């Protein structure tokens, strides 16, 4: 690998880490500067973990300790692009408009269906997907509403 490829690889590794670090710092600022911190326990925990892990990843990327290639191949990018689109739709539309739980269920079953290799015309496959989505949503509800007592975004539905 040439010196130019190594620099390009480090640069490519630093960009997402810096974005994650900035997001973690923003979440930390927003969750620690409120009057009543109790509903913000989960964002506080996540932001501290994001900042710590991002700082460690940035240090490794700058040092060149990660042994990766020079970029993401186009075929891999095309495979993950639908998942990124679903996540963006979830954050920008589904959760704010439909509510956290409804948006999460739609987002989860969409991602699951996109990346599940089983046939899409089988009733049994759809029953499995719906059952797993319901189980996932039950776990999400138990964690956020009952264990962490987090106020989730409300929308048109739950």
30-51 pLDDT, tens digit per residue, is: 889 888 877 788 888 999 999 9
> Residues 129-142: what's their mean pLDDT?
93
Task: Please state, in angstroms and rounded to a whole number, the distance separating the CA atoms of residues 2 and 74.
Answer: 21
- The structure's pTM equals 0.62
Residues 27 and 46 in one domain: yes
Residues 12 and 28 in one domain: yes
Residues 122 and 136 in one domain: yes
Residue 110 has a pLDDT of 94
> Pick from 36, 71, 106: which residue ends a domain?
71
> Residues 114-142: what's their mean pLDDT?
92
Residues 55 and 82 in one domain: no
Tokens 């962490």, residue located: 148
Q: What domain range is 104 assigned to?
A: 74-158
- Range list of H helices, 33-119: 41-63, 74-89, 95-98, 100-115
User: How confident is residue 76, by pLDDT bands cut at 50, 70 and 90?
Assistant: confident
Residues 85 and 143 in one domain: yes
Map residue 10 onto helix, strand or coil.
Answer: helix
Burial class (CB in 10 A: 0-12, 13-18, 19+), 56: exposed
Structural domain tally of the chain? 2
Residue 24 pLDDT > 80, yes or no? yes
> Residues 137-153: what's their mean pLDDT?
83
């Amino acid at each position: 690998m040439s010196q130019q490829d190594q620099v390009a690889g480090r640069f490519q590794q630093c960009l997402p880490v810096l974005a994650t670090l900035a997001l973690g710092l923003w979440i930390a600022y927003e969750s620690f500067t409120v009057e009543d911190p109790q509903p913000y326990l989960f964002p506080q925990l996540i932001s501290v973990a994001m900042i710590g892990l991002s700082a460690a990843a940035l240090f490794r990327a700058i040092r060149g300790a990660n042994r990766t290639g020079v970029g993401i191949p186009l075929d891999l990018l095309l495979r993950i692009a639908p998942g990124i689109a679903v996540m963006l739709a979830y954050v920008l539309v589904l959760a704010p408009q439909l509510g956290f739980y409804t948006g999460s269920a739609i987002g989860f079953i969409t991602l699951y269906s996109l990346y599940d290799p089983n046939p899409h015309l089988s009733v049994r496959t759809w029953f499995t997907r719906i059952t797993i989505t319901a189980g996932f949503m039950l776990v999400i509800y138990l964690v956020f509403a009952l264990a962490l007592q987090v106020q989730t975004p409300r929308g048109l539905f739950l």
